């Protein structure tokens, strides 16, 4: 498989298609595979939380796998970056209490968020949250937020 440049998933898909051709005697095109690349996580704690949520201990995780996650918690895990959450477009509840977050701008595109817990981080600006219109519960306690809002 590796020598052919194929992943295990691609190899098995191709083998199944070939088997269908042999059995049926007809060359029918296989169902198109997803062309999206797997997510390469920058934050191990976020990856662990997503894997736990998906009940998937190992293997590739794709953007389409995480798009439907509605609740996620990564508490007191030393998280410093939130870029990995850009694929979790359906998040409604997110708990990131007790991490090392300063920049929360990646949360600005999570338009379905209604509950967000960000207490006990290092957040100085909440400008990224200003257009999250569905947000009805927000915890920013113990953050060094500056400026007016």
pLDDT at 24: 47
Among residues 58, 49, 37, the alpha carbon closest in space to that of 82 is found at: 49
- pTM given for the model: 0.76
Q: Which fold has domain 37-139?
A: 3.80.10
pLDDT at 12: 57
- Domain limits of the chain? 1-33, 37-139
Give pLDDT < 50 ranges for the chain: 1-4, 17-22, 24, 26-33
For residue 38, give the H/E element and its range. Answer: none
């Amino acid at each position: 498989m590796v020598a052919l440049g194929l992943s295990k998933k691609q190899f098995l898909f191709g083998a199944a298609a070939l088997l269908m051709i042999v059995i049926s005697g007809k060359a029918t095109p296989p169902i198109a595979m997803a062309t999206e690349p797997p997510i390469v996580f920058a934050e191990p704690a976020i990856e662990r939380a997503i894997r736990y949520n998906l009940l998937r201990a190992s293997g590739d995780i794709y953007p389409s796998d995480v798009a439907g996650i509605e609740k996620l918690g990564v508490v007191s895990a030393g998280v410093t970056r939130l870029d990995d959450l850009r694929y979790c477009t359906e998040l409604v509840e997110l708990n990131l209490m007790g991490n090392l977050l300063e920049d929360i701008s990646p949360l600005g595109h999570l338009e379905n968020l209604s509950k967000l817990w960000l207490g006990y981080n290092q957040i100085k600006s909440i400008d990224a949250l200003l257009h999250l219109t569905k947000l009805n519960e927000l915890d920013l306690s113990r953050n060094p937020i500056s400026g007016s809002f």
